[in-house]
Amino acid sequence: MKTKKDPDVLVIGGTRIKRGERKKLQLEVSTLFDYTELKIPVEVIRGKEKGPVLFISGAIHGDEINGVEIVRRILKRKILSKIKGTLILVPVVNIFGFNNKSRYLPDRKDLNRSFPGTKKGSLASQMAYIFMKEIVSKCTHGIDLHTAAVHRTNYPQIRASLDDNIETEELAKEFGAPVIINSKLRDGSLREAARKRNVRILLFEGGQALRFEENVIQVGLKGCLRVMKKIGMITSRDKYQRKPAFIANSSYWVRAPHGGTFSAKVKIGNYVEEGDTLAVIADLFGSSRVEVVAEKSGIVVGANLLPLVTRGDAMFHIANFDESKKVIKAVEDYFED
Ligand SMILES: [Zn+2]
C-alpha cells in the first residue's frame, strides 16, 4: 500500500515514538466528578522498517471484553519485536463504560454511533474525535473487536462491507472466523468513519458481553495475527492456519411473536431450515405455547440468552448463505476439532 503513513517519528497524544521503539501512553479524554483524569491506555510497537500501520481496538462498547483479552494476548507475543511498520493496541476505548461494566458512556450515548466526532461536541463525540485524530487517521488498517450486546451472544464473525474494496474482502477471509457477514456501514460507527479516511477496517464480533470466552478469544487472536501476516507486518513460520471462510450476503432477526418466557431449541452455529422451530414461548402456567419458527434457512449467528421476551424482541440472528450443504456443515463444525 502506497502511503505517507508510518513516518520516522510518530506522535500520538503528544508522545513521540521513533522507529524501533515500543511505548505505552495515555490519551486524555475527560475528567470524572472527583477530578480523576480519564485516559485511554495505548501501547505502540514500531518496527525498524517502514510498513503498514494497524490499530487493534477493544471495548468501544465498554462491556464487550473478549477483545480486551485478545489484545492482552497479542501484547505477549514475542513476534512483536520483529514487526515491520507500526502496531497500535488499544485494549479499552470506552474507558468509562469499561469501569461501569456498561456498553454506554455516562450520558447513555453509544460511542460507536458518535464517530467521527467533534472537538466540542458531547462527551461521546469528543472521545470519538480524539480516537479518530490520534489513532485511526494515522493508520492504514484497523481491527475493531466486539461481542454481542448484554444478554446476547454471537457466533464468531467478521463484519465488513465487501463491496468497497477487494483488500477488505481478502483480509476478512484471512481473519478466518467461521462466518463473514457482508454488512452495510452504520451511521456514526467507527467502521464508517475509518473507511472514509481510507483505512481498511474489519469488525470482529464474538461471544457475550462481560465474559472471557476461550474459543472466541482464540478465533480473535489467531485472526489478528493472520491479518498482521497478510498485510506484511509479521513474517512467521507459525502457520496460523485457517479454515475456509464463508460469506453471508444477508441476515435477518427473528423477533418474538408473543410475550412470555421461552426455551430455545437451537444454539449459535446451528443450521436451520425454513419452518424449523427455534424456540417455544410459554405462559407462566405452561398452558399456552407459541412456536417461534425460522422464516428462511441459514446459520444462527446471534441469539438472545435472556429467556424473557415481549412481543417484537430480537431472539435469533440468522445469516443466509448461497452455499451447499457441505459449506453449511463446515460452518457448523468450526469448533469440532
Ligand atoms: Zn459492540
Residues 134, 136, 140: CA angle, nearest 5 degrees = 125
What's the gap in Å between 323 CA and the centre of ligand 1?
28
Query: In which band, very low, low, confident or very high, does the pLDDT at 307 lie, cut at 50, 70 and 90?
Result: very high
The reply to whether 241 and 112 lie within a common domain is yes
Cis amide prior to 116 (ω within 30 degrees): yes
What's the gap in Å between 147 CA and the centre of ligand 1?
6
Looking at the domain assignment, is residue 1 inside a domain?
A: no
What's the gap in Å between 116 CA and the centre of ligand 1?
16
The reply to whether 35 and 139 lie within a common domain is yes
The pLDDT score that the predictor gives to residue 244 is 79
| In the chain, % of residues over pLDDT 70 | 96
Q: What is the mean pLDDT of residues 209-218?
A: 97
What's the gap in Å between 164 CA and the centre of ligand 1?
22
Among residues 217, 216, 209, 214, the alpha carbon closest in space to that of 100 is found at 209
Residues 100, 303, 332: CA angle, nearest 5 degrees = 125
The reply to whether 121 and 212 lie within a common domain is yes
The reply to whether 231 and 260 lie within a common domain is no
What's the gap in Å between 207 CA and the centre of ligand 1?
11
The pLDDT score that the predictor gives to residue 184 is 83
Looking at the domain assignment, is residue 334 inside a domain?
A: no
The reply to whether 297 and 233 lie within a common domain is no
Of 201-215, 263-277, 317-331, the one with minimum mean pLDDT is 317-331
The pLDDT score that the predictor gives to residue 337 is 63
Residue 61 contacts residue 189 (beta carbons within 8 Å): no
What's the gap in Å between 191 CA and the centre of ligand 1?
12
The reply to whether 57 and 179 lie within a common domain is yes
Query: What are the two backbone dihedrals, phi and then psi, of residue 180, each rounded to the nearest 5 degrees?
Result: -115, 125
Question: HSE on the CB side for 64, CA within 13 Å?
Answer: 28
The pLDDT score that the predictor gives to residue 188 is 94
Q: Hey, is 296 helix, strand or coil?
A: coil
| In the chain, % of residues over pLDDT 90 | 82
The pLDDT score that the predictor gives to residue 336 is 80
Rounded Cα distance, 149 and 143, in Å: 18
Residue 185 reports pLDDT greater than 90: no
Looking at the domain assignment, is residue 167 inside a domain?
A: yes
What's the gap in Å between 279 CA and the centre of ligand 1?
25
The reply to whether 217 and 296 lie within a common domain is no
What's the gap in Å between 102 CA and the centre of ligand 1?
11
The reply to whether 189 and 304 lie within a common domain is no
Residue 2 reports pLDDT greater than 60: no
What's the gap in Å between 47 CA and the centre of ligand 1?
30
User: What is the extent of the structural domain holding 68?
Assistant: 9-246
The reply to whether 145 and 158 lie within a common domain is yes
Q: What is the mean pLDDT of residues 215-225?
A: 96
Q: Hey, is 233 helix, strand or coil?
A: coil
Looking at the domain assignment, is residue 332 inside a domain?
A: no
Residue 135 contacts residue 219 (beta carbons within 8 Å): no
What's the gap in Å between 27 CA and the centre of ligand 1?
21
Residue 22 reports pLDDT greater than 90: yes
The reply to whether 231 and 294 lie within a common domain is no
What's the gap in Å between 60 CA and the centre of ligand 1?
7
> Radius of gyration over alpha carbons of the chain, in Å?
21
Sheet strands (E) in 9-125: 9-12, 15-18, 22-31, 37-46, 53-58, 86-90
Domain count across the chain: 2
Residue 58 contacts residue 90 (beta carbons within 8 Å): yes
Among residues 109, 110, 106, 67, the alpha carbon closest in space to that of 89 is found at 67
Of 128-142, 155-169, 211-225, the one with minimum mean pLDDT is 155-169
The pLDDT score that the predictor gives to residue 290 is 96
Looking at the domain assignment, is residue 335 inside a domain?
A: no
The whole-model pTM stands at 0.96
What's the gap in Å between 61 CA and the centre of ligand 1?
5
What's the gap in Å between 252 CA and the centre of ligand 1?
18
The reply to whether 116 and 239 lie within a common domain is yes
Q: Hey, is 25 helix, strand or coil?
A: strand
Q: What is the mean pLDDT of residues 217-232?
A: 96
Q: How far is CA 9 from the centre of its chain?
A: 29
The pLDDT score that the predictor gives to residue 239 is 63
Q: What is the mean pLDDT of residues 309-314?
A: 97
What's the gap in Å between 148 CA and the centre of ligand 1?
6
What's the gap in Å between 40 CA and the centre of ligand 1?
17
What's the gap in Å between 145 CA and the centre of ligand 1?
8
The pLDDT score that the predictor gives to residue 186 is 83
Torsion angle in degrees (nearest 10) through CA of 277, 282, 288, 291: -10
Residue 165 reports pLDDT greater than 80: no
What's the gap in Å between 14 CA and the centre of ligand 1?
29
The reply to whether 187 and 117 lie within a common domain is yes
Looking at the domain assignment, is residue 262 inside a domain?
A: yes
What's the gap in Å between 258 CA and the centre of ligand 1?
27
What's the gap in Å between 149 CA and the centre of ligand 1?
6
Report the chain's mean pLDDT, rounded to a whole number: 93
CATH at residue 254:
2.40.50.100
Residue 316 reports pLDDT greater than 70: yes
Query: In which band, very low, low, confident or very high, does the pLDDT at 305 lie, cut at 50, 70 and 90?
Result: very high
Tell me how far CA of residue 252 lies from CA of 120, 181, 295, 310, 324, in angstroms: 37, 11, 9, 18, 20
Query: In which band, very low, low, confident or very high, does the pLDDT at 112 lie, cut at 50, 70 and 90?
Result: very high
pLDDT digits (tens, 9 = 90+) for 55-101: 999 999 999 999 999 999 999 999 999 999 999 999 999 999 999 99
Looking at the domain assignment, is residue 177 inside a domain?
A: yes
What's the gap in Å between 316 CA and the centre of ligand 1?
17
Rounded Cα distance, 261 and 263, in Å: 7
Helix ranges, the chain (H): 66-75, 95-99, 123-134, 166-175, 190-196, 214-230, 325-332
Which residues place a Cβ less than 5 A from the ion ligand 1?
Answer: 61, 64, 146
Q: What is the mean pLDDT of residues 32-56?
A: 96
What's the gap in Å between 112 CA and the centre of ligand 1?
8
What's the gap in Å between 8 CA and the centre of ligand 1?
34
Any residues with CB less than 8 A from the CB of 230 and at least 6 apart, and which?
170, 171, 174
